[in-house]
Amino acid sequence: MTARSHRLPEGGRIDRSRTLSFLFDGQSYLGHPGDTLASALLANGVRVVGRSFKLHRPRGVFAYGVNEPNALVTLGTGVDGEANVRATMIELRQGLVAHSQNRWPSLAFDVMGVNDWFKSAFAAGFYYKTFMGPAKKSWMTYEPWIRRAAGLGRSGTGSDSRRYGRRNITTDVLVVGGGPAGLAAACAAGRMGVRVLLVEQQPELGGSLLEDREGSAAASFVDMMEQELAGLDTVRVLKRTTVFGAYDHGVFGLVERPSPEAAPAAGERFIVVRSRAAVVATGALERHVPFGDNDRPGIMLASAARTYLNRYGVLCGRRVVVFTTNDHAYPAALDLAAAGATVSIIDPRPGPGPAMKAAVERAGVGLLSGHVVAEARGRAGVQSVLVAGYDAARGGTQPVWFELPADLVCVSGGYDPQVHLTSQLGGKAVWSDAAASFCSARQVGDAWASGAVTGVMSTTEVIADGLAQGRAAAIAAGGRGDPGGLRVSADLAASESPAAMMPLWDVPPPPSFRRRRKRFIDLQNDVSQSDVALAAREGYVSVEHMKRYTTLGMGTDQGKVANVVGLANLAAVTERAIADVGTTTYRPPYTPISVGALAGLETGQHSTPLRRTSLDLLHEAAGAVFVDAGHWRRPWYYPLKGETIDEAYRREALAVRTTVGMVDVSTLGKIDVQGPDTATFLDRIYVNAMSTLKVGRVRYGVMLRDDGLVLDDGTVARLGDAHFLVTTTTAEAGKVMSHLEGLLATVWPDLKVHVASVTDQWAAIAVAGPRALALLQDAAGARAAWLSDLPHMGLADGVIDGLPVRAHRVSFSGERAYELFVPSGYAAALWRRLAGSGGRHGLTLYGTEAMATLRIEKGHVAGNEIDGRMTLGDLGLAGLAKPGRHFIGSALMRREALMAPERPALVGLVPIDRGQRVRQGAILQPAGGPHEGHGLGHVSSTTFSPILGHYIALGFVAGGSARMGGQVDACSPVHGETVRCEVVSPKFYDPTGARLHA
Amino acid sequence: MKRYSGISVLREALRGNAGWTRAWRDPDPKPHYDVIVVGSGHGLATAYYLAKEHGIRNVAVLEKGWLGGGNIGRNTTIIRSNYMIDGNTRFYELSLKLWEGLSHDLNFNAMVSHRGIINLAHNQAQVNALVRRGNIMRLNGIDAEIIDREEVRRRAPVLDFSSEARFPIVGGLWQGRAGTVRHDAVAWGFARAASALGVDIVQNCEVVGFLKDDAGRIVGVETTRGPIRAGKVALAVAGHSGHLAAKAGLTLPIETHILQAFVSEPLKPLLDCVVTYGAGHFYISQTDKGGMLFGGDLDGFNSYGQRGALSVAEDVATMGKALMPSLSRVRIVRQWAGVMDMSMDGSPIICKGPLDGLYLNCGWCYGGFKATPASGYTFAWTIARDEPHEVSARFTLDRFRRGEAIDEKGAGPTPGLH
Amino acid sequence: MRIHCPHCGTRDHTEFSYGGDATVTRPPLEDGDIDRWHAAVFLRPNPKGIHREYWHHALGCRSWLIVERDTLTHRISATRLAGSDEGAGS
C-alpha cells in the first residue's frame, strides 16, 4: 500500500488475506479479491481515470455499478484490447491490465483537452451547422479527423480467443434483481412450490442493502435471506448475471460474466430464459444534480461513496461534502463521518426527517439546509465547492456564497427506478410526483414489478412488496399455498421516516458568479444544461429529438445517471410537466452486451452449419477442391497434380463426352410423394402433366410459383401407381418441400397425399458418358440385365455388387447417363465399387464446374437461368405447358407483360472471334452500340467447351430466337471487355440428342 | 432562417449560443392546403422538393409522432446505387446524386460520407452475380468495380481472411461513391429547409381517416387535430401504408415486417467502409461517433412492433462475428427495429391514385433511407404534374397485375424474402 | 415469441417458418381470372392488430398451423392445425 492509500485498515467485504497486483496505464497497484477495478483504483488514490467523449475533460469514478459514465477502461492490450469496460463492473484479478481511454498522449496530459477551451463552439449539434464547405464533398476531408477524435476506446482487431457459452433455462418464475424486493419475491415464490430463478448482476446478493455497513440490519437481512433461499430446493440463483432484455411470451436474454477465478479463456455465457412469470425487482439507481463543473474527479454519487466505504473499505476523501435533496444520502454522510472524515451536508430542503436530523447531530456532521452546491473547483480533482443559499420557492440560487474545501463531493438528486424491462415488455413508465421519477407499471402481462422499481423506497415496504409480487407471479405460474412472512429486524424499519425529497434538476449559478461553468447532465457525452436549453431553443423539444440532437443518454451507460435529469431540464426550459415530456423508449440491452456473448459457440466454421454428402470423405481423399452450394459443400473439381481449375474441368468434361465420368449428385432435393391422389396433386404443381407418366418412367418437370414465374425444375419418377419420387435442384430443395407441404395442408387438405423429404436418406451418383453402361455392367457383374435393358427416361431397381440401387436413366450432360440412388449408408461402398471398375473404362470423377460445362453445351437451364424472374417462355420451355391445363401459376403466367414477345429469352452465344472469352454477367448490347443502359439482356452462364474448342454461353436476349443468327455485343465494363457474339441455338452440342443412346 | 456555417457557429459561441432560433416552425395546421403529405420521412423530402422545384408552398407535412421518428431515424444510414434491375438502377443513382449535394442544398450538414461499400462474394458464382450487377451499373453511368480478395483486405482488414472463415472472401463489388449519411440530420435538414420555404410541419397529428367528396375524390384528411382539407393528399408512411390506405378503402401489395438494427459502444476507427455480407445476411459500418452499426435479416413475420426478437439478435451477432472476428469483444449498446413496408417484389411504389386526389409512396422494404432524396424528388414531381417522373415511372401500383415486377432478388411475391 | 403447436407443445417461433396471411382466398386452379389471382397473390390487408396467419413447424412436426396473433403486441389468441379445427385454443 502506498502512502496515499485510501483503504481503511479494516472493514468491507473484500478478502484482505490475499493481495492482487494489477496495472493501470502501466503503473502497478495492489488490491484484494472482492475489489472492483474502480474500488482498487480509488483505494490507491487514483482520481482521474478517464477523459470525456467530446471535451476530453478529466474524469473520476462516479458510480459503483452498471451506471458508471466515466470510469471506462480498455482491458488487455493491442489486438486483444477490450474497450469501454466499466471499471465498476470489473472484478479484480491478479495481473489484470487496464488502460485509460480517449486521451493522447497520456491521461494526465491530453492534447484533445483543448476541446474544453472551445466548449461553447462545441455546443449541442454544432457539427450539423458546419464542416460543409467549401466544396460539395468537403465532409470527406473533415470526416477522417472527426472519426479519429471520436470514439472512446480502441478495440483490438485480433480474433477473440475466449470461449463463450450458451445455456437455456426454463423456469416458472424469473426474479430479476437480488436486492430486498427480489430476495423476498424469490423466497415467496419458492415457498409456493414453483421453480424460481433469481438473477443478480452483482457478484453478491443484496442489491442496495450492500451499501450498508457490515453487521448492520441490512447486512443481516441479506445473510438471513441467503440461508433461507439455500434451504429452498425450488430456487436457483445466478449471480454476475444481467437480464439485458425482456421479449415476447416470457423469453428473457441474460449474460453471465465469468468469476475472477475462472480461467482467463472463459468468456461470458449467454442464457435464454423461458419463464411462465417474472418478478422485475430491478430497483432504482441514484441520480445526480447538475451544478457548475459538477464533473470534476472526486465528485460521485452518494451511494457510490458509501458503497466504496462499506463494501470495499475505501474512504474516497477526508473532507467530504454531501450534497443531497433527499434523506437517502444521509446514511452515506453518517458512515463517512464514522470512518473519520469531516463531513458537511448541503441540503436545499429545510432539513431531513427528525430521526435523521438527530443522527446527524449525534455524529457531529455539519448540516447546512436551504443551501446548494453551486460549483466545484479543482480541475484534476475537486478541491473545494462553492455553496450558496437556495430559494426553494423561486427555484433560484442566492447571490451570497462561500467556499468550502472538499476532496470528495457526494451528490444525490434522488432515485430513478430501473424501468427498462417492464418498459421493454410494453408497460409504460409513469411519472410519480411522490417519487419524483418515472416508475414501472405494476404488472405487464405475466411480469410483476416489485420494490424500488415501482417507486417504493422504504426497505420494509420493499420487502413486503417483494413477498406480495413473488406470490402473484407464483400463482400465475401454478404455485399454491401461502408464502408466509419474513422476519424483518426492527433496526431495518427504524432507519426510515424520511422527509420528502426535493426534486432539483439544475443548480443555476448565483447571480454573483462571474463565469458560467458547464453544468453537466450526461457526463460521458458532455451534455450540459445549456445544451438541452439550446436544443429546446432550436425546436428539438420532443424528448427523442433532444436525445438525438444533444446525444444525451446515448453513451455506453445509456443515460442511467442522466436521462431523467435531462428530461426534467427539457421540461423546465419548455415549460412543460415532466410527465408530459415523457421518456425515450427503452430497448434492449439494459447494459451493453458483447457480440461474442450473443454469438456463443457458433463462431468461425461453426457460424453456419456445413452439410456434407455421405461421399464427402471420398471426395476429400480424391483431392477434390470444394465449393459452397448453399449450406452444402460439393466437389468443384478434382485437380491432378499441378492442374489449374481450367485444366481440370476441361479434362473432366471431355472425359464424360469421350469415356465416362462420375459425379456426386446427392445434394439434389428428393421428395417421396405417396397416396391415392398423388398423380392429381403432381398434375397441379407441375406445368406438365404427371398423371400420364407410366410406372417405371421418369419425366422432366417444371414448377411455377403462384405468380406464374418458374420456381424450380427437376425430375418426377413414378415408382408405383400412387408413389412418386420428385427431385428438385439443390438450391430450392427446402423451399419446394415447404411449398408442397403448405399446399397440401392449407389449399388441398382433401387430397390424400403425403410428402416426405428423403434428401438425406438417399445418396445419388450420376454416371455419364459413352462407356457408362459398360462401367455399370462391369460393376454389377452377372446381374446387369436390369441396367442394360433400362430405356432412356426409365427407372429400375436392382443390385450392384450386393448393394440395393435404383437407377434412373436420365441425363443432364447429354450423354448416356444413369442416376444411381442408393441408401446413404451404402453410398461410399457403391462409389468405391464403381471407381474400382472404372479404371479400364477411363472413368473420371467430375465436379460441379465440369457439370456446368456439360449442361451449358446442351443448353439445359440451371440456377443461373432460373433466377426467380423467368417465365417458361423465357427459358424456352413454353412447350411443356399444354393449353387448357390448370396448374399453380397457370393464371398469372398469362399476365400481359409476361407474354410480351420482346422479353429477353434464352439463346446460345458464341464469340465471333472463337479465341475470345465471354464473361458471365456481361450485358448484351446491340452490336456496334450504343452500349448503354440495360441493353438487350445478359449472359447467364459461360464455359469453355472442350469438345467444341471455344467459349460458349447461355444468355437472355430481347426477342430470343427471333435474333438467331444475328450478332450482339457482350459488354463487361468491369473487365473492360466487349465481345461480339453470334446468337445461336442454346443446344450447342448434339442438338438431336443422339448421344443419349450412344 | 439563420444560415449555418463555421463562422456562425463561432459567432454564436461567443454570445453563449443565445442567438440560435428554431430549426423549423411549429405551426398549428391550417384548414386547407394545396398538398398534404402524410409522414415525416420521405414526406419531408417530398414537401421540400414540392416547394423548391415546383413552387408549391402551401403544403403541410403531417406526422403522427415526432418529426423523423419513423424509419428515417431507425435505419443503418447506408446510401448506395448498386441496383441491377431496370427501374431501380437509375432511380437510386438519382438519389445518390442528390445526396452528393444535399448538405449544401439544405445548409445542414447531414454528414454525407462517400466512404464506399463492398458487397462481398464468397465463391465464383457470387462473383459472377456481382459482375452482372457491376456491369449494369457501369453501363448506366454508375461507378462500380469488381475487386479481388487482396483489395477487400486492403479496404477492410478487420474482416476474416483466415482459414477459419466459414465463407471465404474471394472478392466483392465496390462502389466508392456509396457510403453513409447521418440519418436524423436528413430529417431535420429537410424539415428546416422545407419550413423556410413555407411548408407547415405539423407534429403529433395523426391521420385517422380521409375526407372524400361526392364523387369519391379524396379532398382531405381527418386527423387527431381535426379535419384538414387539401387539393391533393400524398401518403409516405412506410410500414403504416397498409392500415392507412385501408382507411381510404385500398388494399396494397404490401406486408409490414420489422427489421432490427444494432449499434455498439463508440470505438476508435475500426472499419472505414460499409460491408455487406450476403452469405450471412449481415451488413456493417462504423458511425462517425464510433459505434459499429449493423443489422441482418427481417424478423420474418408481419409485425408493427418496433422491437424485435432475441433470436434475430443472436443470428446477427453470430454472422457479425463470423465476418469480423474482432467484433466479438465489441458490445452492443442499443437495438431497435424499423417497421418496414415490404412490397411483393422488393421495390417501391410511387404513383398517382388509384383514388382521385390520392398519391402513394410506399413499398420501400428496408431500402427506403438511401432513396429519401429521389423518393421526395420524384414523388413531388408526380404530385405536382400528375404524371410520373421518368426515373420512377416503373414504380407503379398496377405492375403486379401486369406482370412487371421489379424483383432485384428474384424472390417472388413473398414480401418477407425480399 | 413462443407458439403453441397442437402436436409438439409450446415452442420458440424459430422452430417455425412463417407462411403469411391465412385469410387469403385462393381461386380454384380452373379459375383463369387474372384479377382474382392478382388479389389473392399480391394484395394483403396487412392489419395492425389481429392477424390470422400460417406458421409451418419446419423444425418440428412439419405441421402447418393457423395462428391468430396481434401484429402490434404479438399476443397470440388462438392456434390450430391448418385444414382442421383440431387443437383450437391457445
pTM over 0.80: yes
Task: Please give the pLDDT value at position A4.
Answer: 60
* Residues in chain A closer than 8 A to C26 (CB atoms): 747
Q: Which residues contact C7 (CB under 8 A, 6 or more apart)?
A: C57, C60, C61, C63, C81, C87
pLDDT digits (tens, 9 = 90+) for A452-474: 999 998 999 999 999 999 999 99
* Residues in chain B closer than 8 A to A899 (CB atoms): 403
Checking if the pLDDT of C88 tops 80, the result is: no
- Give how far the C-alpha of residue A541 lies from the chain's centroid of Cα atoms, to the nearest Å: 32
**DSSP 8-state code for residue A759:** T
Checking if the pLDDT of C86 tops 60, the result is: no
- Can you tell me the mean pLDDT for A72-89? 95
Give the C-alpha distances (Å, rounded to integers) separating A964 from A899, A908, A967: 20, 9, 8
Mean pLDDT taken over chain C? 92
Checking if the pLDDT of A782 tops 90, the result is: no
Chain B: partners with 3+ C-beta pairs within 8 Å: A, C
d(CA B216, CA A368): 73
Vertex B42, ends B36 and B45: CA angle to 5°?
A: 80
Checking if the pLDDT of A998 tops 80, the result is: no
Give the amino acid at A76. G
Q: In this predicted structure, which of A120-134, A407-421, A560-574, A647-661 has the lowest mean pLDDT?
A: A120-134
Give φ, ψ of C52 to 5 degrees.
Answer: -90, 125
Size of interface A-C (CB pairs under 8 A): 68
Q: What b-and-e string marks burial along A533-545, b requiring 16 or more CB atoms within 10 Å of the CB?
A: bbbbbbbbbbbbb
Task: Please give the pLDDT value at position A569.
Answer: 97
d(CA A954, CA A907): 6
Q: In this predicted structure, which of A102-116, A264-278, A964-978, B206-220 has the lowest mean pLDDT?
A: A102-116
Task: Please give the pLDDT value at position A496.
Answer: 65
pLDDT digits (tens, 9 = 90+) for A634-659: 999 999 999 999 999 999 999 999 99
* Model confidence band, residue C89 (pLDDT cutoffs 50, 70, 90): very low
Q: Which residues contact A57 (CB under 8 A, 6 or more apart)?
A: A51, A113, A116, A295, A526
Task: Please give the pLDDT value at position A514.
Answer: 78
Give the amino acid at A982. E
> What sign results for the dihedral spanned by CA atoms A415, A417, A420, A421?
positive
Checking if the pLDDT of A758 tops 80, the result is: yes
Question: How many residues would you count in chain A?
Answer: 998
Residue of C nearest to B298 (CA): C18
* Residues in chain A closer than 8 A to C41 (CB atoms): 706-707, 892
Contact B109 A129 (CB under 8 A): yes
Q: For B255, which of C13, C17, C44 is closest by C-beta distance?
A: C44
pLDDT digits (tens, 9 = 90+) for A853-865: 999 999 999 999 9
pLDDT digits (tens, 9 = 90+) for C36-75: 999 999 999 999 999 999 999 999 999 999 999 999 999 9
User: Which cell numbers in the block locate residue A77?
Assistant: 492490450
Contact B253 C20 (CB under 8 A): no
Checking if the pLDDT of A395 tops 70, the result is: yes
Taking the CA of residue C11 and the nearest CA in chain B, the distance in Å comes to 13
Task: Please give the pLDDT value at position A410.
Answer: 98
pLDDT digits (tens, 9 = 90+) for A585-619: 899 999 999 999 999 998 989 999 999 999 999 99
* Residues in chain A closer than 8 A to B188 (CB atoms): 128, 540, 549
Task: Please give the pLDDT value at position B307.
Answer: 84
Query: If chain B, 418 residues long, is cut into consecutive pieces of 10 residues, what is the mean pLDDT of each piece?
Result: 92 92 96 98 98 98 95 94 97 98 96 98 95 98 98 98 94 98 98 98 97 96 98 97 94 96 97 93 96 95 92 96 96 94 97 95 95 98 98 97 96 92
Q: Is A761 helix (H, G, I), strand (E, B) or coil?
A: coil
Q: Is A500 left (phi over 0), alpha (psi -120 to 50) or beta?
A: beta
Q: For B303, which of C17, C42, C71 is closest by C-beta distance?
A: C71
Checking if the pLDDT of C90 tops 60, the result is: no
Q: Is the peptide bond before B354 cis (omega within 30 degrees of 0)?
A: yes
Taking the CA of residue A933 and the nearest CA in chain C, the distance in Å comes to 29
Task: Please give the pLDDT value at position A493.
Answer: 73
User: Which cell numbers in the block locate residue A22?
Assistant: 494489477
Mean pLDDT taken over chain A? 95
d(CA A209, CA A211): 5
d(CA A705, CA A707): 5
Q: Is C56 helix (H, G, I), strand (E, B) or coil?
A: strand
* Residues in chain B closer than 8 A to A257 (CB atoms): none
For B:79-138, CB contacts with A below 8 A are: 86, 89, 100-101, 103-104, 107-115, 122-125, 128-136, 138
Closest by alpha carbon to A682, among A887, A878, A880? A887
Q: For C74, which of B251, B253, B305 is closest by C-beta distance?
A: B305
Closest by alpha carbon to A419, among A274, A325, A281? A281
**DSSP 8-state code for residue A494:** H
Closest by alpha carbon to A173, among A190, A158, A160, A161? A190
Flag whether residue C72 sits within 8 Å of chain B, measured between CB atoms: yes
pLDDT digits (tens, 9 = 90+) for A293-308: 999 999 999 999 999 9
* Model confidence band, residue A352 (pLDDT cutoffs 50, 70, 90): very high
Chain C: partners with 3+ C-beta pairs within 8 Å: A, B
Taking the CA of residue A609 and the nearest CA in chain B, the distance in Å comes to 9
Flag whether residue C41 sits within 8 Å of chain B, measured between CB atoms: yes
pLDDT digits (tens, 9 = 90+) for A800-851: 999 999 999 999 999 999 999 999 999 999 999 999 999 999 999 999 999 9
Mutate to test the interface with A, among C64, C80, C85, C86 (most CBs of A within 10 A): C64
User: Which cell numbers in the block locate residue A374?
Assistant: 453551486
Contact B409 A868 (CB under 8 A): yes
User: Which cell numbers in the block locate residue B377?
Assistant: 424528388
User: Which cell numbers in the block locate residue A259?
Assistant: 468469476
DSSP output for B225-273: TEEEEEEEEEE--GGGHHHHHHHTT--BSEEEEEEEEEEEEEBS----S
Checking if the pLDDT of A494 tops 70, the result is: no
